[in-house]
């Protein structure tokens, strides 16, 4: 399970899975957080963005990393600067422009992902 802002996500799988959703925060000090969370290659890529595009790009990286450490069971004590381990598949999920989301599955095969809007459950 994950939530951020008005979004809640639940992932169900027959193998270890991690899911993260984050609201994009345009006021975040992206550079400060990126130094402790991104690889050197990711930092170079991130330097090509500015403003809200930079916040969105960083949040995309962050959700991927958090999904991976959830799937592996390491949690945030895991090495966020590490590259994705072998045997872990990561997929970005489309949740709109104000949020970023990613799913990580421990598997050698690309996961089949179905996204459903559960708004009707709250009605």
For residue 6, pLDDT over 90 is answered with no
At 79-102, the pLDDT tens digits run: 999 999 999 999 999 999 999 999
- Is the pLDDT score of 1 beyond 90? yes
Where in the chain are the domains? 2-122
Q: Can you count the helices (H) and strands (E) in the chain?
A: 3, 5
- DSSP 8-state assignment for residue 23: E
Predicted confidence (pLDDT) per residue in 17-34, tens digit = 999 999 999 999 999 999
Residue 69 CA: distances (Å) to CA of 22, 66, 72, 81, 105: 15, 5, 5, 11, 10
CA distance 104 to 39: 18
CATH of domain 2-122: 3.90.470.20
Q: How far is CA 113 from the centre of its chain?
A: 15
- Judge contact between 19 and 103, C-beta under 8 A: yes
Sorting pLDDT into bands at 50, 70 and 90, what band is 111? confident
Whose structure tokens read 């809640």? 8
Residue 123 has pLDDT above 80, yes or no: no
CB-CB contact of 96 with 6 (8 Å) = no
């Amino acid at each position: 399970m994950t939530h951020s802002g008005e979004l809640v996500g639940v992932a169900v799988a027959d193998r270890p899975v991690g899911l993260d959703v984050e609201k994009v925060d345009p006021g975040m000090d992206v550079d400060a957080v990126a130094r402790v969370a991104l690889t050197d290659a990711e930092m170079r890529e991130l330097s090509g963005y500015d403003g809200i595009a930079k916040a969105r790009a960083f949040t995309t990286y962050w959700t991927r990393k958090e999904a991976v450490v959830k799937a592996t069971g390491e949690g945030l004590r895991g090495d966020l600067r590490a590259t994705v381990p072998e045997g872990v598949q990561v997929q970005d999920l489309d949740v709109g422009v104000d949020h970023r989301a990613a799913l990580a599955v421990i598997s050698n095969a690309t996961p089949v992902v179905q996204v459903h809007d559960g708004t009707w459950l709250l009605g």
